[in-house]
């Protein structure tokens, strides 16, 4: 089985620009004047990550601006300076969640793998990111809970389904997709199985088993998808 070999794949995380910038700024802190502005950017990111962590653990209803302020050791007023409402903070976490994926895709595509292996690599990295990245975890729970009026947050899943449909169409052209499987059916199945795996792991084991569970599910599904 071709897909089985991927079990040993390193889960090297793609780097996220926000995180890199955050570290760089800490190192340079103490100078002025545009560093004042850089510190504001860093503080804004700290607030965002703290909020994402709280949303992940307690959900939207269980998280207040006061909780976020306490988490980063700031006043409520200081948090409101960066995000004027809890809704604004919610939207920012979900948008930051979605901003992760193009970077992961770029990282997987730069490895020079075939279409099917690029897809496998992308989903493996995505599983590790759901396990490790508070912004991604917080954004995922907010999308599940749908706390804001319809239309306020991006429609989930459709971007992923479209991306996987494209990658599977490339796999078909490369002769890597099993006869009789449409890219559309394959994309829907992969996204359903991936998000089901990550959600169930979030509920049952706080995602500690996510990478292992995804490896099992991935091997089964790619066995059925591979030519």
Instruction: Give the nearer residue to its own copies in terms of CB position, either 88 or 192.
Output: 192
Looking at 29, 88, 174, 220, which residue binds its own copies (CB under 8 A)? 220
Whether omega for the bond prior to residue 33 falls within 30 degrees of 0, making it cis, is yes
DSSP structure string for 65-79: HHHHHHHHT--HHHH
CB 191 within 8 A of CB 157: yes
Looking at 31, 37, 106, 223, which residue binds its own copies (CB under 8 A)? 223
Q: How many C-beta atoms surround the C-beta of residue 180 within 10 A?
A: 6
Residues of this chain, 45-84, that bind its own copies according to CB under 8 A: 59, 61
Task: Give me 15's structure tokens.
Answer: 């780097």
CB 78 within 8 A of CB 65: no
C-alpha span between 124 and 114 (Å, rounded): 15
Closest residue by Cα to residue 177 from 212, 216, 227, 139: 227
Instruction: Give the nearer residue to its own copies in terms of CB position, either 62 or 114.
Output: 62
C-alpha span between 111 and 16 (Å, rounded): 17
Looking at 77, 112, 155, 175, which residue binds its own copies (CB under 8 A)? 155
Instruction: Give the nearer residue to its own copies in terms of CB position, either 73 or 180.
Output: 180
Task: Tell me how far, at minimum, the Cβ of 96 lies from its own copies, in Å.
Answer: 20
If one asks whether residue 144 binds its own copies (CB under 8 A), the answer comes out as: yes
Residues of this chain, 174-213, that bind its own copies according to CB under 8 A: 181, 185-186, 188-189, 191-197, 199-200, 203-204, 213
Q: Which residues bind its own copies (CB under 8 A)?
A: 59, 61, 144-147, 155-158, 181, 185-186, 188-189, 191-197, 199-200, 203-204, 213, 216-217, 220-221, 223-225
């Amino acid at each position: 089985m071709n897909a089985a070999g991927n079990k040993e794949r390193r889960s090297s995380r793609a780097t996220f620009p926000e995180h890199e910038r955050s570290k760089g700024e800490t190192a340079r802190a103490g100078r002025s004047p545009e560093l004042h502005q850089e510190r504001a950017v860093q503080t804004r990111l700290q607030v965002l990550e703290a909020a994402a962590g709280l949303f992940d653990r307690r959900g939207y209803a269980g998280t207040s601006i006061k909780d976020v302020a306490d988490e980063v050791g700031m006043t409520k007023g200081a948090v409101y300076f960066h995000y004027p409402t809890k809704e604004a903070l919610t939207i920012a976490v979900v948008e930051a969640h979605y901003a992760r994926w193009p970077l992961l895709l770029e990282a997987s595509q730069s490895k020079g793998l075939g279409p099917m292996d690029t897809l496998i690599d992308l989903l493996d990295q995505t599983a590790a990111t759901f396990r490790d990245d508070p912004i991604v975890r917080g954004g995922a729970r907010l999308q599940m809970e749908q706390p804001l009026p319809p239309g306020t947050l991006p429609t989930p899943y459709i971007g992923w389904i479209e991306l996987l449909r494209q990658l599977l169409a490339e796999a078909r052209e490369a002769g890597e997709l099993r006869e009789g499987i449409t890219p559309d059916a394959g994309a829907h199945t992969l996204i359903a199985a991936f998000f089901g795996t990550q959600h169930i792991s979030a509920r049952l084991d706080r995602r500690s088993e996510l990478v292992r569970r995804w490896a099992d599910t991935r091997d089964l599904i790619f066995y059925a998808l591979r030519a």
